[in-house]
Structure 1
Amino acid sequence: MLRFVRRPAGLAALSMFPVAGQAAETADRVAHPVLLSVLIVTGAVVGCGLLVMMLLHLDSASFRRLHRILTDLPLAVAIIRRKDGVLLYANKRCCELIGVRKLGSRYLYPDDISAEMLCDFLRPLPYRHGFQNAPEALQLKPGFTLSLAVTGQPIRFKWQAAWLLYLSQPPQQPASSALLEQEQRIFQQVLNSLSELVYYQDRSGQIIGTNKAFNRFWRGRFSEGVMDDENMAASLHPLHTWTTAPDGASRLLETNKTQLIDDHGEVIGTLSISHDVTDWHDMQESLKQEIEKREITEQALAQRSSLLNTIFEASSDPIGLYNEHGIYVGCNEPFARALGFTQATLLGKSAADVLEPDKWEEFQESDRQVLREGKTVKTDDYVILEDGTPIWYEMVKTPYRDPTDGVPGVLVMARDVTERRMAEQQLADAIMELQEMSFVDSLTKVANRRYFDEQLRKLWHGHIREQKPLTLILCDIDSFKAFNDNYGHQQGDYALREVAKVFRDVIRRETDEVARYGGEEFAFLLPNTNPEGGLVVAEKVHRQLAAQGIVHAYSDVDDKLTVSLGIATVTPLPTQDYGDLVEMADIALYKAKAAGRNCTMVMTDSDR
Structure 2
Amino acid sequence: MPQLPPPQPFDQDDIYRTLLESTQAIPWKIDWASQRYVYVGPQIEALLGWRTDDWGTVQDWIDRIHPDERDQVVRRCVELSQAGVDHEADYRALTADQRYVWVRETVHVLRNAQGGTEALVGFIFDIHERKQTEQRLLALQRELQALSYQDSLTRVANRRRFDEALEQAWAQAQATQTPLSLLVLDIDFFKQLNDCYGHQTGDQALVQVAQALAQVCDKCNDLVARYGGEEFVVLLPKVGLDIARQVAERFRRLLQEQAIPHARSPFGQQVTVSIGAGSLVPQPGQDCAGFVHAVDQLLYAAKNAGRNRVVAQAVLL
TM-based fold match above 0.5: yes
Residues 493, 412 of structure 1: CA spacing in aligned structure 2 closer, same or farther, 3 A cutoff? farther
**Could you tell me which residue of structure 1 aligns to residue 5 of structure 2?**
none
CA contact (8 A) 2:82 2:117 kept: no
Residues 588, 357 of structure 1: CA spacing in aligned structure 2 closer, same or farther, 3 A cutoff? closer
Higher relative contact order (CA 8 A, sep 6+): 2
The alignment partner of 1:585 has SS state of helix
Matches within 5 A, 1:334-373: 334-347=43-56, 350-373=60-83
**Could you tell me which residue of structure 2 aligns to residue 590 of structure 1?**
300
Give the aligned length.
303
Distance in 2 between residues matched to 1:451 and 1:358, nearest whole Å: 32
Matches within 5 A, 1:178-327: 306=14, 309-324=17-32, 327=36
Give the AA of the match of 2:177: Q
Distance in 2 between residues matched to 1:587 and 1:394, nearest whole Å: 59
Q: How far apart are residue 306 of structure 1 and its match? A: 4.3
| Per-residue deviation, residues 189-235 of structure 1 (Å, max 9, x unmatched) | xxxxxxxxxxxxxxxxxxxxxxxxxxxxxxxxxxxxxxxxxxxxxxx
Matches within 5 A, 1:320-469: 320-324=28-32, 327-347=36-56, 350-383=60-93, 391-400=101-110, 408-469=118-179
The alignment partner of 2:286 has SS state of coil
Q: How far apart are residue 588 of structure 1 and its match? A: 1.4
The alignment partner of 1:382 has SS state of strand
Residues 575, 353 of structure 1: CA spacing in aligned structure 2 closer, same or farther, 3 A cutoff? closer
Which segments of 5 or more consecutive residues in structure 1 lack a partner in the other structure?
Answer: 1-302
Give the AA of the match of 2:208: E
Q: Which has the larger radius of gyration?
A: 1
Q: How far apart are residue 532 of structure 1 and its match? A: 0.8
The alignment partner of 1:316 has SS state of coil
Q: How far apart are residue 517 of structure 1 and its match? A: 0.4
**Could you tell me which residue of structure 2 aligns to residue 100 of structure 1?**
none
CA contact (8 A) 1:370 1:410 kept: no
Residues 385, 515 of structure 1: CA spacing in aligned structure 2 closer, same or farther, 3 A cutoff? same
Report the TM-score, using the length of structure 2 for normalisation. 0.80
Pairing 1:577–2:293 present: no
Pairing 1:474–2:184 present: yes
Report the TM-score, using the length of structure 1 for normalisation. 0.44
Distance in 2 between residues matched to 1:479 and 1:327, nearest whole Å: 79
Which segments of 5 or more consecutive residues in structure 2 lack a partner in the other structure?
Answer: 1-10
Identity score, percent:
34
Residues 503, 557 of structure 1: CA spacing in aligned structure 2 closer, same or farther, 3 A cutoff? same
CA contact (8 A) 1:531 1:568 kept: yes
- Over the aligned positions, Cα root-mean-square deviation in angstroms equals 3.3
- Alignment partner of 1:602 out of 288, 303, 312: 312
Distance in 1 between residues matched to 2:262 and 2:228, nearest whole Å: 21
Give the AA of the match of 1:442: S
The alignment partner of 2:260 has SS state of coil
The alignment partner of 2:282 has SS state of coil
Q: How far apart are residue 309 of structure 1 and its match? A: 3.5
**Could you tell me which residue of structure 1 aligns to residue 207 of structure 2?**
497
The alignment partner of 1:333 has SS state of coil
Q: How far apart are residue 523 of structure 1 and its match? A: 0.5
Q: How far apart are residue 346 of structure 1 and its match? A: 3.5
| Per-residue deviation, residues 440-498 of structure 1 (Å, max 9, x unmatched) | 21222222112222332333344333333221110112222233333332333233223
Q: How far apart are residue 598 of structure 1 and its match? A: 2.4
Distance in 2 between residues matched to 1:566 and 1:427, nearest whole Å: 42
- Alignment partner of 1:536 out of 241, 246, 259: 246
